Structure 1
Protein backbone atom coordinates (compact mmCIF):
# COMPACT_ATOMS: atom_id res chain seq x y z
CA UNK A 1 0.00 0.00 0.00
CA UNK A 2 1.34 3.46 -0.81
CA UNK A 3 2.68 5.79 1.85
CA UNK A 4 1.79 9.49 1.72
CA UNK A 5 3.64 12.31 3.44
CA UNK A 6 1.62 15.38 4.37
CA UNK A 7 3.21 18.82 4.07
CA UNK A 8 1.96 22.24 5.17
CA UNK A 9 3.42 25.68 4.48
CA UNK A 10 4.88 27.51 7.44
CA UNK A 11 2.89 30.59 8.36
CA UNK A 12 4.66 33.90 8.93
CA UNK A 13 2.34 35.19 11.67
CA UNK A 14 1.44 33.90 15.12
CA UNK A 15 -0.73 31.14 13.68
CA UNK A 16 1.62 28.13 13.18
CA UNK A 17 -0.50 26.42 10.50
CA UNK A 18 -2.33 27.80 7.51
CA UNK A 19 -5.62 26.58 6.08
CA UNK A 20 -5.77 22.79 5.68
CA UNK A 21 -6.85 23.15 2.05
CA UNK A 22 -3.24 24.10 1.23
CA UNK A 23 -1.79 20.83 2.59
CA UNK A 24 0.08 18.71 0.06
CA UNK A 25 -0.04 14.93 -0.04
CA UNK A 26 3.03 13.36 -1.67
CA UNK A 27 2.81 9.67 -2.55
CA UNK A 28 5.97 7.69 -2.07
CA UNK A 29 6.89 5.12 -4.68
CA UNK A 30 7.35 4.87 -8.43
CA UNK A 31 5.76 7.62 -10.55
CA UNK A 32 5.12 6.39 -14.08
CA UNK A 33 4.65 9.84 -15.62
CA UNK A 34 7.92 11.06 -14.10
CA UNK A 35 9.55 8.05 -15.76
CA UNK A 36 7.82 8.44 -19.14
CA UNK A 37 7.92 12.25 -19.47
CA UNK A 38 10.44 13.52 -16.93
CA UNK A 39 10.81 17.09 -18.15
CA UNK A 40 7.07 17.66 -18.58
CA UNK A 41 6.38 16.09 -15.16
CA UNK A 42 8.93 18.37 -13.47
CA UNK A 43 7.45 21.47 -15.11
CA UNK A 44 3.87 20.36 -14.34
CA UNK A 45 4.71 20.10 -10.63
CA UNK A 46 6.62 23.41 -10.68
CA UNK A 47 9.90 21.87 -9.58
CA UNK A 48 12.03 24.60 -11.13
CA UNK A 49 15.41 23.82 -9.55
CA UNK A 50 14.95 20.13 -10.28
CA UNK A 51 14.00 20.99 -13.87
CA UNK A 52 17.17 23.03 -14.25
CA UNK A 53 19.22 20.18 -12.76
CA UNK A 54 17.55 17.68 -15.07
CA UNK A 55 18.34 19.78 -18.14
CA UNK A 56 21.95 20.33 -17.07
CA UNK A 57 22.49 16.64 -16.31
CA UNK A 58 20.90 15.63 -19.62
CA UNK A 59 23.07 18.01 -21.64
CA UNK A 60 26.27 17.17 -19.76
CA UNK A 61 25.52 13.45 -19.98
CA UNK A 62 24.84 13.70 -23.71
CA UNK A 63 28.08 15.60 -24.31
CA UNK A 64 30.07 13.16 -22.15
CA UNK A 65 28.66 10.16 -24.02
CA UNK A 66 29.41 11.82 -27.36
CA UNK A 67 32.99 12.58 -26.30
CA UNK A 68 33.46 8.99 -25.15
CA UNK A 69 32.23 7.76 -28.52
CA UNK A 70 29.34 5.78 -27.09
CA UNK A 71 27.05 4.13 -29.58
CA UNK A 72 23.34 4.72 -29.89
CA UNK A 73 22.53 1.57 -27.88
CA UNK A 74 24.66 2.78 -24.97
CA UNK A 75 23.04 6.22 -25.11
CA UNK A 76 19.60 4.62 -25.11
CA UNK A 77 20.45 2.49 -22.06
CA UNK A 78 21.86 5.51 -20.17
CA UNK A 79 18.77 7.61 -20.99
CA UNK A 80 16.49 4.74 -19.91
CA UNK A 81 18.34 4.38 -16.60
CA UNK A 82 18.16 8.14 -16.04
CA UNK A 83 14.40 8.08 -16.71
CA UNK A 84 14.03 5.09 -14.37
CA UNK A 85 15.87 7.02 -11.66
CA UNK A 86 13.48 9.95 -12.18
CA UNK A 87 10.50 7.61 -11.77
CA UNK A 88 11.79 6.23 -8.49
CA UNK A 89 13.02 9.54 -7.04
CA UNK A 90 10.15 11.81 -8.14
CA UNK A 91 8.50 11.90 -4.72
CA UNK A 92 11.85 12.61 -3.03
CA UNK A 93 12.40 15.53 -5.40
CA UNK A 94 8.93 16.90 -4.56
CA UNK A 95 9.59 16.58 -0.81
CA UNK A 96 12.98 18.26 -1.21
CA UNK A 97 11.41 21.16 -3.11
CA UNK A 98 8.70 21.55 -0.48
CA UNK A 99 11.26 21.59 2.33
CA UNK A 100 13.26 24.27 0.52
CA UNK A 101 10.08 26.32 0.11
CA UNK A 102 9.52 26.61 3.86
CA UNK A 103 7.04 23.75 4.05
CA UNK A 104 7.11 21.29 6.91
CA UNK A 105 6.17 17.65 7.03
CA UNK A 106 3.21 17.08 9.34
CA UNK A 107 2.53 13.39 9.19
CA UNK A 108 2.76 10.10 7.36
CA UNK A 109 -0.29 8.09 6.22
CA UNK A 110 -0.65 4.66 4.62
CA UNK A 111 -3.61 4.48 2.25
CA UNK A 112 -4.79 3.01 -1.06
CA UNK A 113 -5.23 6.39 -2.78
CA UNK A 114 -4.90 10.12 -2.09
CA UNK A 115 -8.55 10.56 -1.10
CA UNK A 116 -8.30 7.84 1.54
CA UNK A 117 -5.01 9.32 2.75
CA UNK A 118 -6.67 12.71 3.17
CA UNK A 119 -9.57 11.20 5.09
CA UNK A 120 -7.29 9.22 7.42
CA UNK A 121 -4.97 12.16 8.02
CA UNK A 122 -7.72 14.68 8.80
CA UNK A 123 -9.57 12.23 11.08
CA UNK A 124 -6.41 11.64 13.07
CA UNK A 125 -5.32 15.27 12.96
CA UNK A 126 -8.63 16.74 14.20
CA UNK A 127 -9.02 14.08 16.90
CA UNK A 128 -5.52 14.71 18.17
CA UNK A 129 -5.99 18.48 18.26
CA UNK A 130 -9.40 18.29 20.00
CA UNK A 131 -8.12 15.81 22.57
CA UNK A 132 -5.22 18.02 23.55
CA UNK A 133 -7.33 21.18 23.58
CA UNK A 134 -4.87 22.69 21.14
CA UNK A 135 -6.22 24.19 17.95
CA UNK A 136 -2.89 25.45 16.65
CA UNK A 137 -0.44 22.57 16.66
CA UNK A 138 -0.02 18.87 16.19
CA UNK A 139 0.71 16.82 19.30
CA UNK A 140 3.86 14.73 18.99
CA UNK A 141 3.59 12.98 22.38
CA UNK A 142 5.41 13.37 25.67
CA UNK A 143 9.09 12.97 26.29
CA UNK A 144 10.48 9.46 26.62
CA UNK A 145 10.41 7.93 30.09
CA UNK A 146 14.03 8.52 31.06
CA UNK A 147 13.88 9.63 34.71
CA UNK A 148 11.45 9.62 37.63
CA UNK A 149 9.93 13.09 37.98
CA UNK A 150 7.37 13.39 40.78
CA UNK A 151 3.88 14.11 39.48
CA UNK A 152 4.70 12.97 35.93
CA UNK A 153 2.97 9.68 35.15
CA UNK A 154 4.97 9.11 31.96
CA UNK A 155 8.29 9.07 33.79
CA UNK A 156 7.59 6.38 36.39
CA UNK A 157 9.53 3.20 35.72
CA UNK A 158 7.35 0.10 35.23
CA UNK A 159 6.72 -2.19 38.18
CA UNK A 160 8.90 -5.29 38.45
CA UNK A 161 6.11 -7.64 37.39
CA UNK A 162 5.43 -5.56 34.25
CA UNK A 163 8.94 -5.98 32.86
CA UNK A 164 9.26 -8.69 30.23
CA UNK A 165 12.52 -10.00 28.88
CA UNK A 166 15.85 -11.50 29.85
CA UNK A 167 16.69 -8.77 32.38
CA UNK A 168 13.69 -8.48 34.76
CA UNK A 169 15.32 -5.86 36.95
CA UNK A 170 15.91 -2.37 35.47
CA UNK A 171 19.61 -1.66 35.27
CA UNK A 172 20.63 -5.22 36.23
CA UNK A 173 23.90 -6.57 34.84
CA UNK A 174 23.87 -9.06 32.04
Structure 2
Protein backbone atom coordinates (compact mmCIF):
# COMPACT_ATOMS: atom_id res chain seq x y z
CA UNK A 1 0.00 0.00 0.00
CA UNK A 2 1.40 3.39 -1.00
CA UNK A 3 0.64 6.77 0.46
CA UNK A 4 -0.12 9.79 -1.71
CA UNK A 5 -0.32 13.34 -0.40
CA UNK A 6 -3.07 15.46 -1.93
CA UNK A 7 -2.17 19.06 -2.79
CA UNK A 8 -4.55 21.66 -4.12
CA UNK A 9 -6.64 24.68 -3.46
CA UNK A 10 -9.22 24.30 -0.72
CA UNK A 11 -12.80 24.38 -2.03
CA UNK A 12 -14.11 27.93 -2.44
CA UNK A 13 -17.51 29.46 -2.15
CA UNK A 14 -18.78 31.03 -5.38
CA UNK A 15 -17.89 34.71 -5.42
CA UNK A 16 -20.14 37.50 -6.59
CA UNK A 17 -23.83 37.61 -7.42
CA UNK A 18 -25.61 34.83 -9.20
CA UNK A 19 -24.77 34.48 -12.86
CA UNK A 20 -21.09 35.26 -12.43
CA UNK A 21 -18.80 32.50 -13.59
CA UNK A 22 -17.15 30.47 -10.87
CA UNK A 23 -13.41 31.05 -10.53
CA UNK A 24 -11.35 28.39 -12.27
CA UNK A 25 -9.82 25.87 -9.91
CA UNK A 26 -7.02 23.43 -10.59
CA UNK A 27 -7.51 19.73 -9.96
CA UNK A 28 -5.62 18.36 -6.99
CA UNK A 29 -2.13 16.92 -7.42
CA UNK A 30 -1.18 13.57 -5.91
CA UNK A 31 2.45 13.15 -4.86
CA UNK A 32 3.58 9.63 -3.90
CA UNK A 33 5.40 9.11 -0.62
CA UNK A 34 8.30 6.93 -1.76
CA UNK A 35 11.85 6.87 -3.04
CA UNK A 36 12.15 8.47 -6.49
CA UNK A 37 14.19 5.94 -8.47
CA UNK A 38 14.43 8.15 -11.55
CA UNK A 39 15.70 11.04 -9.43
CA UNK A 40 18.40 8.69 -8.14
CA UNK A 41 19.38 7.54 -11.63
CA UNK A 42 19.08 10.80 -13.58
CA UNK A 43 19.32 13.32 -10.71
CA UNK A 44 19.90 16.69 -12.35
CA UNK A 45 17.62 15.97 -15.34
CA UNK A 46 14.80 14.63 -13.13
CA UNK A 47 14.84 17.83 -11.08
CA UNK A 48 14.77 19.92 -14.26
CA UNK A 49 11.89 17.88 -15.68
CA UNK A 50 9.89 18.53 -12.50
CA UNK A 51 10.69 22.28 -12.58
CA UNK A 52 12.82 22.19 -9.46
CA UNK A 53 15.37 24.70 -10.74
CA UNK A 54 17.25 25.54 -7.54
CA UNK A 55 17.48 21.92 -6.48
CA UNK A 56 18.83 20.95 -9.91
CA UNK A 57 21.42 23.71 -9.72
CA UNK A 58 22.48 22.64 -6.21
CA UNK A 59 22.81 19.01 -7.31
CA UNK A 60 24.85 20.05 -10.34
CA UNK A 61 27.20 22.23 -8.29
CA UNK A 62 27.67 19.56 -5.61
CA UNK A 63 28.31 16.90 -8.25
CA UNK A 64 30.85 19.07 -10.04
CA UNK A 65 32.56 19.91 -6.73
CA UNK A 66 32.75 16.23 -5.78
CA UNK A 67 34.25 15.27 -9.14
CA UNK A 68 36.74 18.14 -9.27
CA UNK A 69 37.81 18.46 -5.64
CA UNK A 70 37.77 14.96 -4.17
CA UNK A 71 40.29 12.19 -4.90
CA UNK A 72 39.16 9.38 -7.18
CA UNK A 73 37.78 6.77 -4.72
CA UNK A 74 36.12 9.39 -2.52
CA UNK A 75 34.45 11.14 -5.46
CA UNK A 76 32.66 7.93 -6.47
CA UNK A 77 31.35 7.42 -2.96
CA UNK A 78 30.31 11.07 -2.75
CA UNK A 79 28.44 10.84 -6.09
CA UNK A 80 26.51 7.76 -4.99
CA UNK A 81 25.67 9.48 -1.69
CA UNK A 82 24.53 12.64 -3.51
CA UNK A 83 22.28 10.66 -5.83
CA UNK A 84 20.85 8.64 -2.93
CA UNK A 85 20.04 11.91 -1.20
CA UNK A 86 18.51 13.26 -4.43
CA UNK A 87 16.26 10.18 -4.69
CA UNK A 88 15.20 10.32 -1.05
CA UNK A 89 14.46 14.06 -1.03
CA UNK A 90 12.87 14.35 -4.49
CA UNK A 91 9.24 13.97 -3.39
CA UNK A 92 9.75 16.33 -0.43
CA UNK A 93 11.14 18.95 -2.82
CA UNK A 94 8.04 18.49 -5.01
CA UNK A 95 5.82 19.09 -1.99
CA UNK A 96 7.81 22.20 -1.08
CA UNK A 97 7.41 23.57 -4.62
CA UNK A 98 3.65 22.99 -4.47
CA UNK A 99 3.51 24.78 -1.11
CA UNK A 100 5.43 27.73 -2.60
CA UNK A 101 2.82 27.87 -5.36
CA UNK A 102 0.09 28.18 -2.76
CA UNK A 103 -1.26 24.64 -3.01
CA UNK A 104 -1.86 23.38 0.51
CA UNK A 105 -1.61 19.76 1.60
CA UNK A 106 -5.23 18.69 1.85
CA UNK A 107 -4.85 15.11 2.99
CA UNK A 108 -3.36 11.69 2.46
CA UNK A 109 -4.72 8.81 0.40
CA UNK A 110 -3.58 5.20 0.78
CA UNK A 111 -3.84 3.00 -2.31
CA UNK A 112 -1.80 0.39 -4.20
CA UNK A 113 -1.58 2.53 -7.36
CA UNK A 114 -2.33 6.01 -8.67
CA UNK A 115 -5.65 5.11 -10.32
CA UNK A 116 -7.09 3.67 -7.14
CA UNK A 117 -5.74 6.67 -5.21
CA UNK A 118 -7.75 8.99 -7.50
CA UNK A 119 -10.83 6.80 -7.03
CA UNK A 120 -10.49 6.89 -3.25
CA UNK A 121 -9.91 10.63 -3.31
CA UNK A 122 -13.14 11.10 -5.30
CA UNK A 123 -14.99 8.98 -2.75
CA UNK A 124 -13.57 10.71 0.32
CA UNK A 125 -13.45 14.31 -0.92
CA UNK A 126 -15.80 14.88 -3.86
CA UNK A 127 -15.60 18.61 -3.20
CA UNK A 128 -11.97 18.59 -4.43
CA UNK A 129 -12.61 16.82 -7.71
CA UNK A 130 -15.13 18.57 -9.92
CA UNK A 131 -16.31 17.31 -13.26
CA UNK A 132 -14.89 19.17 -16.23
CA UNK A 133 -17.40 21.50 -17.95
The TM-score range, normalised by the shorter chain, is 0.7 to 0.9
Contact 1:10 1:18 in 2 (8 A): no
Q: TM-score, normalising length from structure 1?
A: 0.61
Is this contact kept in 1: 2:5–2:30, CA < 8 A?
A: yes
Task: Give the 3-state SS of the residue equivalent to 1:86 in structure 2.
Answer: helix
1:60 aligned to 2:93?
A: no
Q: Name structure 2 gaps, 5 residues minimum.
A: 16-21
Cα 1:59–1:18, aligned 2, differ >3 Å: closer, same or farther?
same
The alignment's TM-score, normalised by the length of structure 2, stands at: 0.78
In the other structure, the counterpart of 1:30 is 35
Pair 1:6-2:6 in alignment = yes
C-alpha distance in 1, partners of 2:103/2:122?
A: 18
| Equivalent residue number for residue 25 of structure 2 | 18
* Paired residue total: 120
Residues 27 and 42 of structure 1: is their aligned pair in 2 closer, same or farther, counting only changes over 3 Å? same
Distance 2:65 2:9 in 1: 34
Question: Higher relative CO (CA 8 A, sep ≥ 6), structure 1 or 2?
Answer: 2
Superposed displacement of residue 90, structure 1:
1.0
How far did residue 112 of structure 1 move? 0.8
| Runs of 5+ unmatched residues, structure 1 | 130-134, 136-174
1: CA distance, partners of 2:99 / 2:41: 25
Instruction: Please show how residues 95-134 of structure 1 align to structure 2 within 5 Å.
Output: 95-126=95-126, 129=127
SS across alignment from 1:107: strand
Given that 2:10 and 2:106 are in contact with CA atoms closer than 8 Å, whether structure 1 keeps it comes out as no
Larger-Rg structure: 1
**Offset at 1:10?**
7.0
